[in-house]
Structure 1
Amino acid sequence: MKLLPVDEARARMLAEVAALGVETVPLRQAVGRVLAEDVTAVRDQPPFDASAMDGWALRSADAPAALRIVGESAAGHGYEGEVDAGQAVRIFTGAALPKGADTIVIQENAQREGDLVAVPAAAPGHNVRPAGGDFKAGQALLSAGTRIDPWRLSLAASAGRGEVKVHARPRVALISTGEEIVEPPAAPGPYQIYDSGAPALAAMVAAWGGLASKLKPVRDDLDAVIEALRGADAELIVTVGGASVGDHDLVRAAAQALGLSLKVASVSVRPGKPTFFGVLADGRKLLGLPGNPASAFVCAELFLRPIVSKLQGSAGNLPIIHAKTALPMAANGPREHWMRAKLTFADGAIIAEPYRDQDSSLVSVFAAADALLRRPADAPALEAGGLVEVLPLPRG
């Protein structure tokens, strides 16, 4: 059984994955979806020279002076006339700059007396947002492969889009295996544990834009596992547990009965060595994760997240950043180690502090962590303050 480096294992997995079909959705339903088209602006934003402040629109050449008030320009309706010499128009934030005016004096710096307003000297363009200052008609604003979040949704809306083309959401079936697994809140037997892996993985998949279905846990019986795999209606099946080579690890054998073409047999990673990936005879993809929750979660971040992303048209890259380690670190062994860690900020730097206990069964440590710290295979010892790669984990 060849142990593949993490990057090579992920590349082999992604090579078997293609983006799903395209559908058009209303913009309000697009958050979390991945664009299947570029979004371009249909007009300039703002579409006219606009006021950045409440105040007075005037000709800079006329100031300082007491100017005659001739009208008002507010957001949604402007002043239809033209500002001539000696005139001023009351204007509000976001309103169109009237013809003839070239500057805005804020209301705090002006003094109104009846039909006149006294203004100080003002430079041309002061407090004016120029037409097209944000973006111009025809400008590409969002590219295909971009995941829509609330801020990007706002940009698409300001570009005049009411709907967008996005990739379909991948269906991901999650199957826990093992006699020891029981679903909460059922009472566990004396040798059973609650299924904490599949529910969390389902939430991860949903957060990454997929449609997760958590199937009923399967006992350690080859026929039962085969039937569970056969009945999983999804583009991607993710099994939790049964991925190793012990007497009770039956997932690979069950998958082979369904024509598994194994692409990754195991990964040189800690935790998560038994992780495997392949393609069933009918084209469905199968990712086998270890049963220990921390192992499953680490490998979900390293492999499942990129697969779900690529199914939606993204590249599937990991958002790796660099940080300084808070603790000295011993030399690493032959397997790449992804350590649960806590991120802080000090003196303008990101500090990553790995938890001392990295046992793969500790769900509490994963719940406290907000990053995974990467130690390459055979990495030498590292002093505190040394640079390390970290994968941030989203936390509310």
Structure 2
Amino acid sequence: MISVEQAFARIVGDAKPLQTEKVAVENASGRVIASPVAARRSQPGTALSAMDGYAVNSAEIKGKDVSLKVTGESAAGHPFSGIVGSGETIRIFTGAAVPEGCDQVVIQENVERVDDIINTQEVSKPQNNVRPKGADFNERQVVLDSGTFMSPKSIGLAAAAGQSHLMVYRAPKIAILSTGDELASPDKALFNPYETVDSVKPQLSAMMKEIGAIVSFVGSAGDSPEALEVAIDAASDADILVTVGGASVGDKDFVQQALKNKGLILNFWKVAMRPGKPLIFGKRESQYVVGLPGNPASAFVCAILFLRPLVDKLMGRPAPLPSGVLLPTATALPANGPRQHYLRARLIGNAGERHVDAAASQDSSLQTVLAQCDGLIIRPMDAPAAQAGSLVPFIPF
């Protein structure tokens, strides 16, 4: 049995980002770019007005009453094509190109206009109310470095730079295989009392899709070794095969052997943690195989600690071992045993005065407890008892 840190190092430590692919910029949220993004144009491409007003030559206004003749107009997308001469001005609007011969915009509130003549007492301020060419970025300038995590704000920058597509690391394909003869689909019309609804599969699917993975289901193989092997074959094109259940040592736990029959090179089995001790990890050629325990809390905790960081790593994102933030515990916690314990807990108290309150029951089969909680308190191996108010690591989810 290995530690959580050792298991994380084996699962995530040696993983490398997948191959690259080109995606439309609007579809790049959550992805990591695999090469620098350079601007195809300057932004703005010419000097633009930042206000509605009049474009002037700053040398012609001295802070005293000055009269200038309006000889044209410049609007956004419709620039003035001539040259502004001495004693002249151009009516200009926000976002419009500043015409040649002008270097300042006098806002309309500081102007008195009669017919085609304006009067102003504005002082000379070259570049005032003018956005200079390249103020945001210049042509060929690198605006996003390789390895940048794409979010809506960086997608906007890439698009402004004239990039309609981006080279990103490929999103991993995850195949989820449920096991256990007791499982029933949530849409079943009538449930037998001995059945358990397969709630882990949709739970995992939602978590993986939320971070950008492509999820497919390869069915439920029950507790049949033959059906397991058929399902494992059906998932051969997945980057990660996730099995749920059958990872322990019971007479009906056939998953590990079926995987080995289909080429699994086992890296480890069993981690010194609770919930989640019977965790399988290995590879089938280039495919990662993660065998999760069947109980919902066990599978959920293992997915947070190992599966989600593995997906992050394959997508080129930072993937540290979740270690949490320190928060005071609302109640005393008993001394811990030889396995690292992840206690489901709620956040209580007002902002700035948050405490974490461990759930009364830590039964790993209870979905109600998991749904009502906000994260996990980490109790290290052999940790001494913690008094109420003591700081404990807390992983929010």
TMscore range, shorter length: 0.7 to 0.9
Deviates more, 1:112-121 or 1:225-234: 112-121
Structure 2 CA distance for aligned equivalents of residues 113 and 381 of structure 1: 83
The structure whose Rg is larger is 2
CA deviation digits over 1:235-272, x for unaligned, max 9? 21101111222333221122222232222322233322
Correspondence list, 1:94-133, <5 A: 94-122=95-123, 123-133=125-135
Deviates more, 1:143-152 or 1:185-194: 143-152
Correspondence list, 1:342-381, <5 A: 349=352, 351=354, 353-357=356-360, 358-379=362-383
Match of 2:42 in 1: 44
Structure 2 CA distance for aligned equivalents of residues 119 and 338 of structure 1: 71
Counterpart check, 1:11 vs 2:9: yes
How far 1:216 sits from its partner (Å)? 1.6
Cα distance change of structure 1 residues 51 and 365 upon mapping to structure 2, 3 Å threshold: farther
Counterpart check, 1:232 vs 2:235: yes
Structure 1 CA distance for aligned equivalents of residues 187 and 198 of structure 2: 10
Cα distance change of structure 1 residues 301 and 80 upon mapping to structure 2, 3 Å threshold: same
> Is the 2:334–2:384 contact (alpha carbons within 8 Å) kept by the matching residues of 1?
yes
Match of 1:166 in 2: 168
CA deviation digits over 1:46-88, x for unaligned, max 9? 2223222323332444154443323222222322334445433
Match of 2:214 in 1: 211
Structure 1 CA distance for aligned equivalents of residues 331 and 6 of structure 2: 28
How far 1:45 sits from its partner (Å)? 1.9
TM-score (norm 2): 0.85
Structure 2 CA distance for aligned equivalents of residues 43 and 110 of structure 1: 35
TM-score (norm 1): 0.85
The amino acid of 1:37's aligned partner reads S
> Is the 1:341–1:352 contact (alpha carbons within 8 Å) kept by the matching residues of 2?
no
Correspondence list, 1:301-320, <5 A: 301-317=304-320
Counterpart check, 1:272 vs 2:272: no
Pairing partner for 2:258 from 246, 254, 260: 254
The amino acid of 1:145's aligned partner reads G
Cα distance change of structure 1 residues 161 and 322 upon mapping to structure 2, 3 Å threshold: same
How far 1:99 sits from its partner (Å)? 3.0
The amino acid of 1:356's aligned partner reads A
Q: Helix, strand or coil for the counterpart of 2:220? A: coil
Structure 2 CA distance for aligned equivalents of residues 359 and 83 of structure 1: 79
Q: Helix, strand or coil for the counterpart of 1:360? A: coil
Q: Helix, strand or coil for the counterpart of 2:359? A: coil
Structure 1 CA distance for aligned equivalents of residues 386 and 58 of structure 2: 63
How far 1:191 sits from its partner (Å)? 1.1
Pairing partner for 2:183 from 181, 184, 190: 181
Cα distance change of structure 1 residues 82 and 350 upon mapping to structure 2, 3 Å threshold: farther
Match of 1:155 in 2: 157
Cα distance change of structure 1 residues 42 and 323 upon mapping to structure 2, 3 Å threshold: farther
How far 1:194 sits from its partner (Å)? 1.0
Q: Helix, strand or coil for the counterpart of 2:226? A: helix
Pairing partner for 1:141 from 140, 143, 155: 143
The amino acid of 1:12's aligned partner reads R
How far 1:183 sits from its partner (Å)? 0.7
Structure 2 CA distance for aligned equivalents of residues 22 and 16 of structure 1: 18
Structure 1 CA distance for aligned equivalents of residues 140 and 353 of structure 2: 39
How far 1:198 sits from its partner (Å)? 0.6
Structure 2 CA distance for aligned equivalents of residues 362 and 175 of structure 1: 21
Cα distance change of structure 1 residues 72 and 392 upon mapping to structure 2, 3 Å threshold: farther
How far 1:384 sits from its partner (Å)? 6.6
Cα distance change of structure 1 residues 352 and 165 upon mapping to structure 2, 3 Å threshold: farther
Deviates more, 1:380-389 or 1:154-163: 380-389
How far 1:204 sits from its partner (Å)? 2.1
Deviates more, 1:282-291 or 1:139-148: 139-148
Cα distance change of structure 1 residues 215 and 104 upon mapping to structure 2, 3 Å threshold: same
Counterpart check, 1:70 vs 2:86: no
Q: Helix, strand or coil for the counterpart of 2:135? A: coil
> Is the 2:8–2:321 contact (alpha carbons within 8 Å) kept by the matching residues of 1?
no
RMSD (Å), alpha carbons:
3.0
Deviates more, 1:265-274 or 1:208-217: 265-274
Structure 2 CA distance for aligned equivalents of residues 269 and 119 of structure 1: 76
CA deviation digits over 1:98-153, x for unaligned, max 9? 33333333334444332233445354333332332222333332233334333222
Structure 1 CA distance for aligned equivalents of residues 131 and 384 of structure 2: 55
The amino acid of 2:246's aligned partner reads G
Cα distance change of structure 1 residues 301 and 34 upon mapping to structure 2, 3 Å threshold: same
Deviates more, 1:320-329 or 1:127-136: 320-329
Gaps of 5+ in 1: none
Q: Helix, strand or coil for the counterpart of 1:202? A: helix
> Is the 1:323–1:351 contact (alpha carbons within 8 Å) kept by the matching residues of 2?
no
Structure 2 CA distance for aligned equivalents of residues 50 and 210 of structure 1: 42
Structure 1 CA distance for aligned equivalents of residues 298 and 16 of structure 2: 26
Identity %: 43
> Is the 1:52–1:94 contact (alpha carbons within 8 Å) kept by the matching residues of 2?
yes
Pairing partner for 1:327 from 307, 313, 330: 330
The amino acid of 1:277's aligned partner reads F
The amino acid of 1:72's aligned partner reads E
How far 1:175 sits from its partner (Å)? 0.8
